[in-house]
Chains A and B, each alone.
Chain A
Amino acid sequence: MSTSALPTADVALAPSGRRADHTGSVAMRTVRYALLTFFLLVVLLPAYVLFVTSFKGLGDATPSRAWSLPQSWETAGWDRAWEVLSPALLRTFSMVIPASIISAMLGSMNGFVLSKWRFPGADVVFTMLLFGMFIPYQAVMIPLVQLMQDLGVPSGVPSLIVLHVVYGIPITTLIFRNYYASIPTDLVEAARVDGAGMLRTYSSIVLPISAPAFVVVLIWQFTSAWNDYLFALFFSNSRNGPVTISLNFLASGQLQDYSASMAGALIASLPTLLVYIILGRWFVGGLMAGSVKG
């Protein structure tokens, strides 16, 4: 199971065809589908609320109509949410894209070194790196604020890029390392025997076949940086920060504007949801690689 270091959903989760017929009695099957559908509805319930409430007018929010469809479908909530969130969306993209690319590059180099061009103590180094993935960032936050200030990194997008790159190293290294571990060592050894140096081997043999791992890492980093709130709270504000900050301010206003908040939640989630819908196969694959083995 853990040997396929980079399973897409199809590979990792493919039902082994031989078992598809093993379905039990009709009653069993009915119960199974009933349960699956029940859970489906439960999972979709919040999505229904988000969607429906976002189109409600201001007077349509009385408790008695909480679960009803809107009396008239209005987009005013979306307008208000867009007004608040659109500048933040742009900033979030300008933060997340460089952060994902840089940390993917670092992860790829580290993963290569730790799996295919090893040095004494590589396993210890790897374990030490991994620890960074699990620490509660609260345990470094106070000196981190000071350090970033001393380094002169401006708050907002620049700070967040640095932080997502640095604290992304462990997970990206892990995913790349597991992926590279699955490519035959012969390839690398052959290059080595031919006298190719480390960088040559990396750039001509390993990098060209790394695309699948890059996709996984980029998706992973994109989603986690996009959804981050903790760093954003400490290192940015609603005027220079990402969309999670703006969304929380929109939603925690004193006059609770449910239609705008819900529309805002949908807007803020759209990029990651799109990534998930379009690239879902690799997304799931990335999850597997990041955890089954880790």
Chain B
Amino acid sequence: MNRGWRAWGPPVLLILPSLILIGVFVYGLIGVNFNTSLTDQHHRIGGDVAYVGFDNYKTLFQDDTFIYSLKNLLKYTGAFLAGTLVLGFVWAWLLEKGVKGEGFFRAVYLFPMAVSFIASGVVWRWLLNNAEGDRAGGLNRLFEQSGLGFLQNQWWTDPNWGVVAIAMPAVWQLSGYVMALFLAGFRGIPDELREAARVDGATEWQLYRHVIFPQLSPVALSAIVIVGHMSLKVFDLIMAIAGQTNYTTQVPAIQMWVEFTRGDYARSAAIGTILLVIVAFLIIPYLVYTYRQERLTR
């Protein structure tokens, strides 16, 4: 490929504007943000700013509300991933053998994805109303009316598991997407593989265990990365359902916004950086993996 500047000059020039933009808006700003997070800029503009090393990070990790919000993020991500993967897989599994009206089922399962988190937050705030008994609304009322009153609960206001209730709308929105991924995965498995396994006398379970699951694992990996990185950035849904002051649904992205609005830029920047590091743990191995795959196939 290397035919010198005349050969690869033009393509570099063509992609250069995008590279500059990403270089500045992604990598450059990450750097500036990190720099801000090392200062004592606990105000908006002007004034003297001094470097304080990692003090802002230390303060954050000593703050039990921040620790609580990290735990919340973990619980939320766990629930979101488990919910979408299980539902997505089950739906794909139910559909993959070919059913009448498949297109219809598929479309309905997938439609919540076209809706914004803000719009779905409107209805889920109503559904997840935490009043019980006479004044119950939303799902609690539905449970009561259908004789499932014991299912009534505090939803997102529960101090331990409240944030998991926020994962419900997220699962509702993204399960169809994961289903589409798995469905494509199922249908990418050559029939010959299944037939061969059957001829060898494999039971249905063995077929899944040794043929289908291994074939689906790249899809599952994609799903985990896509859903996982969305999950770690959760913000819109919480703003729409619980608001920014509610304690039980505190996550780093909400705290970053609160610190921003009160003008504590250094702390806000530090939270942003921590969030980036968390996401990077998920993304960088994946990018490296994809990069290697690319090299192999090329």
Contact = CB atoms under 8 A, between A and B. Distances in A.
Consider the complex of A and B and state whether they touch directly, i.e. have CB atoms less than 8 Å apart: yes
Interface of A: 1-2, 7, 9, 12-16, 18-20, 22-24, 32-33, 35-36, 39-40, 43-47, 49-50, 53, 63-64, 66-67, 106, 109-110, 112-114, 117-120, 122-132, 134-144, 147, 166-167, 169-170, 173, 197-199, 223, 226-230, 233-234, 244, 247-248, 251-252, 258, 261-262, 264-266, 268-269, 272-273, 275-277, 280, 283-284, 287-288, 291-292, 294
B141 A120 contact: no
Interface stretch (B19-27, B47-55, B58-66, B150-158): B19-27
Contacts, number: 319
Contacts of A13: 106, 180, 183-184, 187
B177 to A, nearest CB: 6
A230 B141 CA distance: 32
Contact of B291 (A16, A23, A127, A198): A127
A208 to B, nearest CB: 18
Nearest to A148: B25
Given A40-B108, A132-B26, A139-B30, A247 B118 contact: yes
A117 B11 contact: yes
Contacts of A223: 114
B36 interface: yes
B235 A230 contact: yes
B126 interface: yes
B212 interface: no
Given A119-B11, A144-B29, A266-B119, 6 more contacts: A18-B191, A36-B95, A109-B15, A138-B253, A140-B25, A276-B111
B106 A9 contact: yes
Interface string B137-173: 1100110010000000000000000000000010010
A138 B115 contact: no
B181 interface: yes
Given A13-B183, A46-B172, A67 B142 contact: yes
A136 B22 contact: no
B203 interface: no
A138 B236 CA distance: 13
Nearest to B175: A43
B135 A12 contact: no
B294 interface: yes
Interface in B243-288: 243, 252-253, 256-257, 260, 265, 268-269, 271-273, 275-276, 279, 283-284, 287
Contacts of B272: 136, 138-142
Interface residues of B, number: 113
B30 to A, nearest CB: 6
Interface of B: 1-2, 7-8, 10-12, 14-15, 17-19, 21-22, 24-27, 29-30, 32-33, 36, 87, 90-91, 94-99, 102, 105-127, 131, 134-138, 141-142, 145, 169, 172, 176-177, 180-181, 183-185, 187-188, 191, 218-219, 222-223, 225-226, 229, 232-233, 235-236, 239-240, 243, 252-253, 256-257, 260, 265, 268-269, 271-273, 275-276, 279, 283-284, 287, 290-291, 294-295, 298
A280 B107 CA distance: 8
Is chain A's interface secondary structure helix, strand, loop, or mixed overall?
Answer: helix
Nearest to B194: A19
A235 to B, nearest CB: 12
A1 B141 CA distance: 45
A66 B138 contact: yes
Nearest to A137: B233
Interface centre among A7, A134, A197, A288 (most CB of B within 10 A): A134
B191 to A, nearest CB: 6
Contacts of A144: 25, 29
Contacts of A67: 141-142, 145
A248 B252 CA distance: 21
Nearest to A129: B22
Nearest to A281: B103
Given A36-B99, A49-B127, A284 B110 contact: yes
Nearest to B215: A1
B175 to A, nearest CB: 8
A140 B27 CA distance: 9
6 shortest interchain CB distances as A-B pairs: A1-B188, A119-B8, A227-B116, A139-B276, A140-B29, A143-B32
A87 to B, nearest CB: 17
A114 B19 CA distance: 12
Nearest to B229: A134
Contacts of B91: 36, 39
